[in-house]
Amino acid sequence: MKDDVVKRLKEVEEKLQNQVQIPPEDLVFLFGLSLIKDKSGEN
């Protein structure tokens, strides 16, 4: 999954750099990624 995440993130970042509006499916991806990274309650 890690490789797929890196690839997808690169695609989203390219869209953002080109100032293209990101579609809802990309927002779902960013939400999912943030949820994985979120360590707020683990210490």
Give the footprint of other proteins on this chain (CB under 8 A).
1, 4-5, 8, 12, 16, 19, 21-22, 24-25, 27-32, 34-36, 38, 40-41, 43
Distances from the Cα of 29 to the Cα of 14, 20, 42, 43, angstroms: 15, 16, 22, 25
Quick one: 10 or 27, whose CB is closer to other proteins? 27
Smallest distance from other proteins to CB 10, Å: 13
Of 15, 43, 41, the closest CA to residue 29 belongs to 15
